[in-house]
Amino acid sequence: MPPLEIFGLFTAVLMLALYALESRGRIFILLFGFSCLLGAVYLFLQGAWPYGLVELAWTAVASWRWWNARPPG
């Protein structure tokens, strides 16, 4: 498997795992946003720039959700 495909698989699995963990704390929301950014990088490198723009939008949404999430307690 080429390195770019390994990177893409890694980012997709990371996004899925972090999305499932978002309810456990703000840090997981932030990490999900970072994984979306990695996904956008992968998609741009692959040449699928329209999907890369969608991943950038998800990065922005996750960042907004992290910023507005209440700290525990």
For the chain, which residues make up each domain, given as ranges? 3-66
Residue 20: burial class (beta carbons within 10 Å; 0-12, 13-18, 19+):
exposed
The pLDDT of 21-47, averaged and rounded, is 96
The pLDDT of 30-47, averaged and rounded, is 97
CA distance 36 to 17: 12
- Among 9-13, 23-27, 41-45, the least confident range: 23-27
CA distance 48 to 66: 27
pLDDT tier at 65, thresholds 50, 70, 90: very high
Token digits for 36? 């979306």
Token digits for 18? 């972090």
Does the pLDDT value for residue 70 go beyond 90? no
Does the pLDDT value for residue 73 go beyond 90? no
Does the pLDDT value for residue 33 go beyond 90? yes
